[in-house]
Chains A and B, each alone.
Chain A
Amino acid sequence: MRLTVNGAPANVPPEWRDESLLQVLREHLGLAGPKFGCGAGLCGACTVLLDGAPVRACVLPVAGAVGRAVVTIEGLARPAGALHPVQQAWLDEAVPQCGYCQAGQIMAAVALLRAQPSPTDADIDAALDGHLCRCGTHARVRRAVARAAGRPGPR
Chain B
Amino acid sequence: MRRRTALAAGATAVLLPGCTLPVIPRRPAPSLEDAAGWVRHEAGRYTVRLPRAEMGQQVATAFQQIACDELGAAWDAVTIDFTDTSAMARVKGTVGSDSVREFALPLARACATLRLALARGHSGRLLAAEELPAAQLRAFSGQGVWVGRASPLVQALDIVTGRPLFAADVRLPGMVYGRVLRAPGSPELASRPRRWDATAARAVPGFLDLVQDDRLAHTGQAQALAILAATPGALDRIESALRVEWERLEAPAARTPQEQLALDAHLATGALQHVPRGGRPAADTAWTVDLRLEVPLAAHACIEPRAAVARWRDDGMEVWAGHQDPFYVRDVIARRLGLREQQVTVRATRVGGAFGGKTLCTVELEAALLARHLGRPVKVQWTRAQEFAHGFHRPPSSHRVRARVEGGRLVAWWHAFSTSHILLPGAALPAWMQGGVAGVIGDAGAARGSEPPYRCPSVRVEYQLTRLEALTGPWRGLGAGPNLLAMESAIDECARSAGVDPLAFRLGHVDDARLAGVIRRAAAFAGWDRPALTAPDRLRGRGFACGIYKQAAYAAAVAEVEIDAADGAVRVTSLWCAHDCGLVINPDQVRAQVEGNLVWCIGMVLVEALPFEAGAVQARNFAESPIPRYRDVGRLRVDLVESRAPPGGAGETAMVAGAAAITNAIRDATGWRPARMPVRHNDILAALRARSHARTR
Interfacial residues, chain A to chain B (CB-CB below 8 A): 15-16, 18-20, 23, 26-27, 30-40, 42-43, 45, 72-74, 76-77, 83, 87, 90-91, 94, 96-103, 106, 125, 128-140, 142, 154-155
The 3 closest A-B pairs by CB, nearest first: A33-B162, A136-B599, A100-B352
Give Cα A137 to B628, complex, Å: 11
Whether the Cβ atoms of B592 and A97 lie closer than 8 Å is yes
Q: Mark B132-161, 1 if CB is under 8 A from A, else 0.
A: 000000000000000000101101110111
> Does B596 have its Cβ within 8 Å of any Cβ on chain A?
yes
* Least distance between A81 CB and chain B CB atoms (Å): 9
A100-B160 contact given A125-B630, A136-B595, CB 8 Å threshold: no
A-B contact pairs, 15 of them (CB 8 A): A37-B384, A40-B384, A72-B162, A83-B160, A94-B153, A97-B58, A98-B55, A98-B352, A99-B352, A100-B352, A102-B159, A136-B595, A136-B599, A138-B633, A139-B633
Whether the Cβ atoms of A134 and B629 lie closer than 8 Å is no
* Least distance between A58 CB and chain B CB atoms (Å): 10
A27-B305 contact given A98-B353, A132-B629, CB 8 Å threshold: no
Whether the Cβ atoms of B304 and A100 lie closer than 8 Å is yes
Whether the Cβ atoms of B622 and A132 lie closer than 8 Å is yes
Whether the Cβ atoms of B383 and A74 lie closer than 8 Å is no
B621 CB contacts on chain A under 8 angstroms = 38-40, 42
Closest to A45 in B: B303
* Least distance between B151 CB and chain A CB atoms (Å): 9
Stretch at the interface among B118-126, B165-173, B366-374: B165-173
Whether the Cβ atoms of A99 and B159 lie closer than 8 Å is yes
Using A38-B622, A103-B160, A134-B302 as known contacts, list a sample of 19 further A-B pairs with CB atoms less than 8 Å apart, ordered by residue number in A.
Answer: A18-B231, A23-B233, A32-B163, A38-B384, A43-B622, A45-B303, A76-B161, A83-B161, A91-B153, A97-B353, A97-B596, A98-B351, A132-B622, A132-B627, A134-B355, A135-B56, A136-B598, A136-B599, A137-B595
Whether the Cβ atoms of B161 and A27 lie closer than 8 Å is no
Give Cα A18 to B232, complex, Å: 10
B595 CB contacts on chain A under 8 angstroms = 136-137, 139-140
A27-B232 contact given A96-B153, A97-B596, A100-B166, CB 8 Å threshold: yes
Whether the Cβ atoms of A99 and B165 lie closer than 8 Å is yes
A103 CB contacts on chain B under 8 angstroms = 159-160, 162
> Does B164 have its Cβ within 8 Å of any Cβ on chain A?
yes
Q: Which of B381-417 contact A (CB under 8 A)?
A: 381, 383-384
Give Cα A140 to B599, complex, Å: 12
> Does B635 have its Cβ within 8 Å of any Cβ on chain A?
yes
**Which residue, A15, A27, A34, A77, has most C-beta atoms of chain B within 10 A?**
A27
A39 CB contacts on chain B under 8 angstroms = 383-384, 621
Q: Which of B600-652 contact A (CB under 8 A)?
A: 600, 621-623, 627-631, 633, 635-636
Closest to B636 in A: A139
B202 CB contacts on chain A under 8 angstroms = none
A16 CB contacts on chain B under 8 angstroms = 231
* Least distance between B557 CB and chain A CB atoms (Å): 14
* Count of B interface residues, CB-CB < 8 Å: 65
B233 CB contacts on chain A under 8 angstroms = 18-20, 23
> Does B597 have its Cβ within 8 Å of any Cβ on chain A?
yes
> Does B588 have its Cβ within 8 Å of any Cβ on chain A?
yes
Whether the Cβ atoms of A98 and B627 lie closer than 8 Å is no
Which of B231, B300, B384, B600 interacts with A136 by CB under 8 Å? B600
Whether the Cβ atoms of A87 and B205 lie closer than 8 Å is no
Give Cα A140 to B237, complex, Å: 40
A97 CB contacts on chain B under 8 angstroms = 56-58, 353, 592, 596
Closest to B162 in A: A33
A36-B168 contact given A27-B232, A97-B58, A103-B162, CB 8 Å threshold: yes
Give Cα A137 to B206, complex, Å: 39
B597 CB contacts on chain A under 8 angstroms = 136
Whether the Cβ atoms of B592 and A94 lie closer than 8 Å is yes
Whether the Cβ atoms of A135 and B596 lie closer than 8 Å is yes
Whether the Cβ atoms of B588 and A94 lie closer than 8 Å is yes
Whether the Cβ atoms of A18 and B205 lie closer than 8 Å is yes
> Does B675 have its Cβ within 8 Å of any Cβ on chain A?
no
> Does B589 have its Cβ within 8 Å of any Cβ on chain A?
yes
Which of A23, A38, A87, A133 interacts with B232 by CB under 8 Å? A23
Whether the Cβ atoms of B156 and A128 lie closer than 8 Å is no
Give Cα A101 to B160, complex, Å: 10
Whether the Cβ atoms of B635 and A102 lie closer than 8 Å is no
A33 CB contacts on chain B under 8 angstroms = 161-163
Q: Which of B332-361 contact A (CB under 8 A)?
A: 350-355
> Does B230 have its Cβ within 8 Å of any Cβ on chain A?
yes
Whether the Cβ atoms of A98 and B304 lie closer than 8 Å is yes
Give Cα A26 to B230, complex, Å: 14
**Which residue, A35, A38, A102, has most C-beta atoms of chain B within 10 A?**
A38
> Does B301 have its Cβ within 8 Å of any Cβ on chain A?
yes
* Least distance between B652 CB and chain A CB atoms (Å): 13
Give Cα A82 to B589, complex, Å: 25
Closest to B152 in A: A91
Give Cα A154 to B351, complex, Å: 29
Closest to B381 in A: A36
**Which residue, A31, A43, A98, has most C-beta atoms of chain B within 10 A?**
A98
Whether the Cβ atoms of A91 and B56 lie closer than 8 Å is no
* Least distance between A91 CB and chain B CB atoms (Å): 6
Give Cα A26 to B307, complex, Å: 14
Whether the Cβ atoms of B162 and A73 lie closer than 8 Å is yes
* Least distance between A34 CB and chain B CB atoms (Å): 7
Which of A19, A34, A125, A130 interacts with B162 by CB under 8 Å? A34
Give Cα A99 to B231, complex, Å: 25
* Least distance between B236 CB and chain A CB atoms (Å): 8
A37 CB contacts on chain B under 8 angstroms = 303-305, 384
Whether the Cβ atoms of B630 and A128 lie closer than 8 Å is yes
A15-B161 contact given A38-B621, A94-B150, A99-B56, CB 8 Å threshold: no
Q: Mark B46-74, 1 if CB is under 8 A from A, else 0.
A: 00000000011110000000000000000
Give Cα A131 to B57, complex, Å: 20
* Least distance between B55 CB and chain A CB atoms (Å): 6
Whether the Cβ atoms of A30 and B303 lie closer than 8 Å is no
Whether the Cβ atoms of A139 and B635 lie closer than 8 Å is yes
Give Cα A37 to B592, complex, Å: 22
B168 CB contacts on chain A under 8 angstroms = 26, 32, 35-36
B162 CB contacts on chain A under 8 angstroms = 31-34, 72-74, 103
Closest to A76 in B: B161
* Least distance between B437 CB and chain A CB atoms (Å): 31
Give Cα A77 to B161, complex, Å: 7
A94-B304 contact given A32-B162, A35-B352, CB 8 Å threshold: no
